[in-house]
């Protein structure tokens, strides 16, 4: 009888620890998701700022054209990396329709950005 009681107590303790761990994991996921969303917003502002600056004047020589191209490629590459990181976190943390919608949207924007980068930066 003591053996069964000990086993039941151990099983209950394990279940309690696992449920607490899952709750902490959900909280951790929420925190990470919020942090990555903040990083995406910052990367978006940086990309917009760089594109605005790059496109305000037409380059007049090859050196300026190369500089504009390099700035576009660097800013776009940073944004692409941030988008991929956000997709990875979303894949792990989101569930259900929110997961499907978010990942589908990110896949579409990542594919589009990769196409733009491939055309311009290679």
The pLDDT tens digits of the residues spanning 51-80 come to 888 778 788 888 988 988 888 898 889 889
Domains of the chain are: 26-121 (1.10.132)
CB 117 within 8 Å of CB 77: yes
The pLDDT tens digits of the residues spanning 91-109 come to 988 889 999 999 999 999 9
The pLDDT tens digits of the residues spanning 6-52 come to 444 444 443 434 444 444 456 788 888 888 888 888 888 888 888 88
């Amino acid at each position: 009888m003591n053996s069964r009681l000990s086993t039941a107590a151990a099983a209950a303790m394990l279940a309690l620890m696992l449920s607490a761990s899952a709750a902490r994991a959900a909280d951790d996921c929420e925190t990470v998701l919020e942090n990555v969303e903040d990083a995406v917003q910052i990367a978006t502002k940086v990309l917009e700022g760089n594109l605005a600056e790059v496109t305000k004047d037409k380059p007049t020589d090859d050196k300026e054209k190369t500089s504009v191209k390099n700035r576009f490629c660097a800013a776009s590459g940073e944004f692409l990396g941030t988008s991929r990181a956000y997709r990875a976190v979303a894949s792990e943390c989101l569930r259900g329709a929110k997961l499907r919608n978010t990942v589908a949207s990110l896949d579409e924007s990542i594919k589009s950005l990769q196409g733009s980068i491939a055309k311009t930066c290679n």
